[in-house]
Chains A and B, each alone.
Chain A
Amino acid sequence: MGFGAAPLLIALGVLLTAGIIVVLYWVRPEPQPVVVPSNLIWRRVLDERRRREDFWRWLVSLAIALLAGLAVVLAVAQPLPEGTARGGRTVIVMDTAPSMAASLPGGGTRWEQAAEQVRRILSGSTETSEFLLLDTAGDRGGRSFIGRREALEALEALGPVHGREHRFPDVADLVGSGTDGASAADVIFVGDGVHVSEAPEGVRRLSVFEPVPNAGITAFDVRPLPSDPGRFEAFIEVVRHPAGEEDAGVVVLQIDGAGGASARRTLRPDPGTPLGETVPLTGFVAGPVRAVIAISGEDGLPADNVAHAYIPARNRLRVLLAGGPNPFWEAALRLDPRVSLTVAPPGPEALADLDAGSVDLVVVEGAPPQAMPPVPVLFAGAGSAGWLPSRLGGEAADAGDEDGTTVMLPVVRGHAEHPLLRDLNFEDALARDVEAFDAASLGDRGPWRLLLGDSRLGLLAARESPLRGLAFAFPIARSNLPLQADFPLLLSRALSWLTDVEVRRVGLGQARVAMAAGAIFDAEGRELPSRRLGSEVSFDASEPSLYYAAGGGREIVVAASLLDRRASNLNQSAWAGEPPASLAPAGTVASALWPILALFALLLIVAEWVAFHRHATV
């Protein structure tokens, strides 16, 4: 058993109390003088008993008083059983991995149980104890040792964190070597061992792991049919993790969309094995899509039972073809039933009064406008402008074969799965009069991405922010690209990509949206706290839902879903064989020790008082 108070103070307290009691017993009150006829009988009585009984009774009385005093001192000294904080420093590492949000069979969550453990440790400590509260997310814990009350407040600010790499923090400097008591600190790790199981030697683990059944959505995507960009299908992946023996549980999948559209499936995934399912979203229109799964019985993690997506397509596109009539563009654009095409006469006037409210997309063939249009733009041709990628000049521009005018259109490595190019084939595509973009100047951080070309020549570049754009380095009429079988698909995708509502899929946790300035709203339209991080806006997407980022004339739909196989597997704990930490930790006993001692002292004092007044003691 240790004490919360300093040993020197305890020793001083004990000595002082004992000294005072002994002195008080020696300094007896002055007796009242009484003259009696004779001391003859008294002498006989006193001579017989004083040396024996009086001494022992005096001694017993003194012992009781000493014991009572000692109990009071020890109670004040805050006794602590072995294993609790003793007024020293304690580092508490909280596992804030997503699996800590798992519900427990007995009620509550792993996190709540872990927090309760820590609260009991804190409440069992002393006023002089210092704590450093850290979490496995690495950026929400404290930086220095704080008192018990501050630690309790800091604990309330913690919770399971999604979207972070969880690891045990570096506390090696804080763990005492055992030879330097002044700098030594106890380290306690409270977690479930699912995401973070390794801890340095000397760290005391408090496990809150208990196996719980769980089913979760680990993938959810809504994508247009390759053959028909106006129709969509959903791909969903479901996994089920039973708590004990394998069972034949079923998972009911429900997908709901805007306008009351819905689809329902009954899935039978093998335990622990993800099951993928493609669901045609027949009858679904543009708007939110939500997938919900349900299993019979308990489900450990509600967060992975829901996933969100968004169908971004527009039903009607107002396209302005600038630069005058162009049979290639006009023929290609009119193939898309969504397109409402307007052909503007040649000259810059057509783009001068361009209004985002009246035009959804502008197609420019020929000389580029010097300022980027306020709507998404599809540009083809030569010429330079500030908003376009820089071009290769002189001889470098004469890329291609011997006559220097014909080039192939290879897909840039790594972009084969780009939404514009996925599953398309342009191996036979050629282009002439190419004034190539300088591939080296595009860089990795610029607004443009090179989709077609090679390491030097940029033939097709896509811009994602702030407005989307697509730029061909050659006039479309000088290429056989429109003759390619996949060109209509490319154009249709380009129209969708350029004009569709921007949808971003994020995991739970802190989400970032590429938007220089804007506000974040939840599905109910309430503005959420957010902060700017350079050209991005960051906000807390802790719940699976749809969020909306709006600013600078743009609107981005953010679909936040957990979609994490590892997070859904709540039972893959390295501590699975260990018994969970008791909910009656030493701190409880510690906090109960001092009242026991105080009560003991009180009983002794009462006993001595009664004995004194009954003249049983002296």
Chain B
Amino acid sequence: MSNSNTLFDNDFMERLEYLKLMATRMLPSRHRGEHRARKRGSGIELADYRPYVDGDDTRDVDWKAFLRLDKLVLRIFDEEADLPVYLFVDRSASMAFGDPPKFDFARKMAGALSYIGLMNHDLISIVWYGRKIDGWMAPKRGRNQIFRAFRFLDAGDTGGATSLSACFRTFFGSRRKRGLAVVLSDLMDDEDLLGAFDACRYQKHDMFVVQVLTPDEIAPALPDEALLTDSEDGSERRVRVTPRLLDRYQRALAEHQEKIEDYCSRYGFGFCVANSGEPFEDAVMAIFKTDRFIR
């Protein structure tokens, strides 16, 4: 797998080692399923105490403390979970743009996250999606699954339109173990993007959204008179490019991102924007630094 003809070559592997090291420092890693779940419950690691109330499981009462304090105190444990990580990678036609293409950038990010996840004994699933779910890699755990994940990612291709809403409805329509959904997409989805996020949220999944944009999408460089053709639906718009128009574009893009970010912020999800023109590991590190990727 480590050859120069694939997306995940030796250079990529070396970068992954760097990311793993950095992730080790930033993420407290123990054993299998070492990600701390948001849910407090039946784990073995004491997290906190609280007064007992009616209905609480008496098995969690700290009797030694009762003898000392003459109060019923309930022990609270972090629930150690086998946290599934669902990596949703957008493979629509719009992801083929950029140098390197956004799709490659997203795949590398997905590969890096898969590597780190598998190294931490997380359960990793990868989903190709466009207008619908175009393919997925069933949940895998263990370090020996890393190359399977790489092969899956390496085999991906772009094409077609995008509908995250349809994808999420399909994917989360089936019973899925609660986990972390990571969306790697340019989010140029004209359909109900926030509705799609709702579908994920209603299933109690955690979510981290990464918007991958090319430098040209962030700061378009267009001729004065341009006929813009949408790569996905083929729609055309004639524009007379002026600085003012570009300012408006930037504002519209920022509004679009703010809307997503507001949503994520409101519901505790993570969101970041990745520039495909920058090294992917920087984007991965930026994700880690947001402190929202892992709770």
Contacts and interface: CB of A to CB of B under 8 A. Distances in A.
Interface stretch (A30-38, A359-367, A511-519): A30-38
A217 to B, nearest CB: 85
A41 B249 contact: yes
Interface string B215-242: 0110010111111111111011111111
Contacts of B95: 37
B97 A46 contact: no
B229 A41 contact: no
Interface in A32-58: 32-46, 48-49, 53-54
Interface in B158-211: 186, 188-190
A35 B226 contact: no
Contact of B227 (A34, A48, A54): A34
B256 interface: yes
A44 B242 contact: no
Interface in A566-615: 614-615
A29 interface: yes
B214 A37 contact: yes
B237 A32 contact: no
Given A45-B245, A615-B243, A35 B229 contact: yes
A36 B240 contact: no
A616 interface: yes
A44 B190 CA distance: 11
A49 B248 contact: yes
B253 interface: yes
A31 B190 contact: no
Contacts of A43: 235, 237
Contact of A45 (B188, B235, B238, B249): B249
Given A31-B225, A42-B237, A45-B249, A37 B94 contact: yes
B68 interface: no
Nearest to A37: B94
B223 A32 contact: yes
A526 interface: no
Contacts of B102: 37
Contacts of B94: 37-38
Given A32-B223, A38-B186, A39-B230, A615 B237 contact: no
Contact of A49 (B228, B229, B231, B245): B245
B227 to A, nearest CB: 4
Contacts of A418: none
A171 interface: no
Contacts of B237: 39, 42-43, 46
B252 interface: yes
Given A37-B188, A615-B244, A42 B227 contact: no
A174 interface: no
B229 A616 contact: no
A445 interface: no
Given A49-B248, A615-B243, A31 B227 contact: yes
Interface residues of B, number: 42
A618 interface: yes
A32 B230 contact: no
A615 B227 contact: no
Contacts of B240: 54, 615, 618
A616 B243 CA distance: 8
Interface in B6-63: none
Count chain B CB atoms within 10 A of each CB in A33, A35, A39, A53 and give the residue with the most: A39
A26 to B, nearest CB: 14
Nearest to B242: A615
Contacts of A45: 245, 248-249, 252
Contacts of A35: 228-229, 231
A301 to B, nearest CB: 74
Contacts of A28: 225
**Which of A30, A37, A54, A615 has the most chain B CB within a 10 Å cutoff?**
A37
B176 to A, nearest CB: 29
Nearest to B162: A38
B248 A38 contact: no
B227 A33 contact: yes
Contacts of A53: 244
Of the candidates A28, A35, A618, the one having the most CB atoms from chain B within 10 angstroms of its own CB is A35
A54 B240 CA distance: 9
Contacts of B226: 31-34
B229 A34 contact: yes
Nearest to B241: A615
A32 B225 contact: yes
Contacts of B233: 39
Contact of A38 (B230, B238, B249): B230
Contacts of A34: 222-223, 226-229
B231 A42 contact: no
Given A32-B223, A44-B252, A49-B245, A37 B229 contact: no
A36 B245 contact: no
A614 B242 CA distance: 8
Contact of B225 (A29, A44, A48, A49): A29
Contacts of A36: 97, 216-217, 220, 228-231
A616 B242 contact: yes
Contacts of B231: 35-38
A46 B239 contact: yes
B228 to A, nearest CB: 5
A41 B190 CA distance: 9
B253 A41 contact: yes
Contacts of B190: 40
B239 A42 contact: yes
Interface of A: 28-46, 48-49, 53-54, 614-616, 618
17 contacts: A31-B227, A31-B239, A34-B222, A36-B216, A36-B229, A37-B97, A37-B231, A38-B94, A38-B188, A39-B228, A39-B236, A40-B189, A41-B217, A41-B253, A45-B252, A46-B237, A615-B241
4 closest residue pairs by CB, A with B:
A615-B242, A38-B188, A37-B94, A39-B230
Given A34-B228, A37-B93, A38-B231, 6 more contacts: A29-B225, A32-B223, A34-B223, A43-B235, A48-B252, A49-B248
